[in-house]
Chain A
Amino acid sequence: MSFTLARVEPSVAGVGDYIELMKPRVMSLVVFTAFVGLLVAPGHVHPVIGFTALLCIAVGAGAAGALNMWYDADIDARMARTAARPIPAGRLAPGEALAFGLTLATGAVVVLGLLVNVFAAVLLAVTIAFYVVVYTMWLKRTTPQNIVIGGAAGALPPMIGWAAVTGGVAVEPFVLFLIIFFWTPPHFWALSLYRTDDYARAGIPMLPVVAGAQETRRQILLYTLVLAPLGAAPWLLGYASAFYGTVALATGAVMIALALRVRTEQRGHTASRQMFAFSILYLFLLFAMLLVDRMSGALFGQMVSHFAA
């Protein structure tokens, strides 16, 4: 038995390439939703412990991004949107990305378990594994339902934030999970409508590639019709204010209006682009309003106790 050793060139990867590997934009949304989950949870968490939890969630998300880029390097190279990523561009070797991702994933889970709590660490491990194994390695290349089921990974961070405070989960973070879960398909399908050629060239069975644009537009509308009332659920269930409810209903109505425009659009992709852009703002607004709710509630509580004393 003999081994052939390939010559490994010294790496030219810079720190920026490793940061890019962690998908910082996705990471920022993950940290934000986890932060909201952490803040709306009942009980108190020391700011240092809260910061540690968010740091671990951020690093865990970065690890999942790195492992995703490691596995998907071949299809990234065939898509215009992703061809400049560090691995297909040749700035970083696949092995470097794999080692980086595994190290970060292990570190994030272990530190979260040691310094915060074991339940949150298990939830983070499940999230990373789900994103890398279930979504990236299995669903993404085999079914048009890839982003529907795989979206669960992106929806879990608020639950991890909640678990970091309480050591468990409840209905409230599950509703936040459902909001992100039902937001993911209209968001990504709106993007895939004007990137269909890219996905087809890469051989990814996104819904517009497999079922056509018309079916995708119909599905976007259906998911949005479920999403809009779901967005208002925190208010309907009584753990968010009427102000949150008003914003959720108003922005939900805009989402439905955009989905209807996408449904009826015959030429071009203006409505799809608008839907994609607004969906980001929509999710951000919902979670920002929950944050404002919680902050103003805490401030109001402090004022009441101050004047009562």
Chain B
Amino acid sequence: MTTMSETMNNGMNEHKPETGIRLTEQQKRARRARSIAIAVSLGVLVVLFYIVTLVKGPGVLVRPL
């Protein structure tokens, strides 16, 4: 359900110039590359924890000092 004020706001926004930060193509490319790198790093970490859990077996939480 749309209220009257929302309808008015939407109508007003159509005529307002866009504000805020607009990323350049270079910034978008850099952000995408960073996002992929973070995703890969997290994936590696998940796989690492999984494999170490398999290797250590039930004693995974038993660590020598």
Contact = CB atoms under 8 A, between A and B. Distances in A.
Given A11-B30, A15-B34, A114 B63 contact: yes
A118 B30 contact: no
Contacts of B49: 115
A48 interface: yes
A119 B65 CA distance: 6
Interface in B6-60: 21, 23, 26-27, 30-31, 33-34, 36-37, 45, 48-49, 51-52, 55-56
A12 B48 contact: no
Contacts, number: 50
B55 A117 contact: no
Name, among A10, A46, A111, A167, the residue most crowded by chain B CB atoms within 10 Å (CB to CB): A10
B43 to A, nearest CB: 14
A52 B65 CA distance: 17
A14 interface: yes
Interface in A32-55: 46, 48-49, 52, 55
A118 B27 contact: no
A116 B62 CA distance: 10
Contacts of A114: 63
Given A10-B21, A48-B55, A115 B34 contact: no
B32 to A, nearest CB: 10
A52 B27 CA distance: 34
Given A115-B48, A115-B49, A12 B26 contact: yes
Contacts of A12: 26-27, 30
A46 B21 contact: no
Interface in A65-120: 111, 113-119
Contacts of A119: 64-65
Contacts of A46: 55
A4 B21 CA distance: 19
Contact of A48 (B34, B36, B51, B64): B51
Contact of B63 (A10, A11, A117): A117
A18 B36 CA distance: 13
Contacts of B63: 113-114, 116-118
A13 interface: yes
Nearest to B33: A15
Contacts of B64: 117-119, 167
A48 B55 CA distance: 8
A49 B33 CA distance: 30
Interface of A: 10-15, 18, 46, 48-49, 52, 55, 111, 113-119, 167
Given A15-B36, A48-B52, 13 more contacts: A10-B21, A10-B31, A11-B31, A12-B30, A13-B34, A14-B30, A48-B55, A114-B63, A115-B52, A116-B63, A118-B63, A118-B64, A167-B64
29 contacts: A10-B23, A10-B27, A10-B31, A11-B27, A11-B30, A11-B31, A12-B30, A13-B30, A13-B34, A14-B34, A15-B33, A15-B36, A18-B34, A48-B51, A48-B52, A49-B52, A49-B55, A49-B56, A52-B52, A111-B48, A114-B63, A115-B52, A116-B63, A117-B64, A117-B65, A118-B65, A119-B64, A119-B65, A167-B64
Interface of B: 21, 23, 26-27, 30-31, 33-34, 36-37, 45, 48-49, 51-52, 55-56, 63-65
Q: Which 4 pairs, one residue from A and one from B, show the smallest C-beta to C-beta distance?
A: A167-B64, A15-B37, A10-B27, A48-B55
